[in-house]
Structure 1
Amino acid sequence: MIRISLRRHPRFFRPGFIGPILLVIIWSLAHTAHWVTPRLLPGPLETFNAFLQSIADGSLWGDFIQTVLRTVYSFMIAAIIGIPLGITIGSSKLIYRSVEFIIDFFRSTPATALFPLFLLIFGIGEESKIAIAAFSACLVIVFNVAYGVMNARQTRILAAKVMGASQWRILRDVLLYESLPQTFIGLRLGVSYALVVIIVAEMFIGSSTGMGHRIIDAEQVYNLAEMYSSIIVTGCIGYLINFIFLIVERHFIKWSGK
């Protein structure tokens, strides 16, 4: 009877639920056992009540939407610039070797260190937040797209050349499709980078809206339940965006690895 019940209701026994449940249990134990002082670590129920209150009074939605919009704008700019640039760089080893140091240098430089530069160029406003996030995401996308193009299967490229395909046809019909799996990896990493930079920018670059501003504002007035609930919402944004990209990737790149 137990085996029949498990087969009929497999959705209740998914391993993916184990991690969140364990996290809530450990969180509850840490709060009730005073492993961390309750003044610094509110319990899950208190945090959840703060989350419900922010939804009920409507204060969460505006910040949530602003953060998502800024992330989407910066990611779109990064993708529009990064994908064709990565294909161009990856299609020629000479070009790649020429710009490899520049890409790796800025990709390894923390985005927060570039805040003053972007503030000087774009000023204190939406433009600077979106620009620095797009820049960080673009570097990741360029690197992964170029890597995907450079590691395209040579047998398919040779087959296209044997059949008389031009360089443009090889680039469009072979290299572009061969690089798609690595391109999607770059896109997922890029949107994650964009979200992280947007949150940090909302904290420290004169923002009056957004989840980053909401987190730092709650911390300054010592509303820790609100702070933790906002952090969790921010994590959920990142998780959902990554989950959407995984679904799209699995749908459009079923041939990956074949």
Structure 2
Amino acid sequence: MSYCVNCGVELESSSEKCPLCHTPVINPNELVQMERASSYPKEKGQVEVVKRKDLGIFLSVVLGATAASCALLNLLVFNHSMWSLLIIGICIILFVLAIPAVIYTKLPIYLSLLFDGIAVGVYLYMIAYLTPSDEWFWRLALPIIALITLLVELFTLLIRAFPVSFVTTALYIFAETAVLCVGIELLIDRFLYRSLGLSWSAVVLTACGVIVIALITLLSKRRLRDEVRRRLHF
């Protein structure tokens, strides 16, 4: 036997409402189940992920507007020098860096690295355009950029073509560091003194050479390699 919780009228077992005040009849067991149930929805809401295409359009518009605004300011207001080339060059570099990340993700990594090197070269050329002489760009900056781009391309090729480990990665880094330092010093000597010679890069070459020989020996001896990995936990 049950009674209405509002007016106290006796209710029949099949009643869904109180015949007097029309208050809904609630089963106590259903009330317990409702209390146990979570007050939060079962499905989790999720903010819509920003599409790469939309992000690419946004970055392109922002960088393009920045470059165009600075160019107009340079031409119409602050026209004492071509300072806008520096900002336009930075916008070009940022746009090129954003291409493989958000604009065109299927771009081959080798082509992307080449574009990065070209973008840096264009920016330095804009700086050279603002200087009295651009000889430093053609004889020093451009060869260094080409050397760095080539070494980065080679490092990427080695990482992707051969099995990667801590030892092999260290081997590539030390070997390319030696080549880079020697190349930079030779290019500087050629630009400043018209002659070639090694000084500080010889120290780097010697240190890196010893490390490279040690790493090659480690890679060639499997038992030694396994022992070093076990002790150093890599």
Q: Same fold (TM over 0.5)?
A: no
TM-score normalised over the length of structure 1: 0.31
Of structures 1 and 2, the one scoring higher in RCO (CA 8 A, sep 6+) is: 1
TM-score normalised over the length of structure 2: 0.33
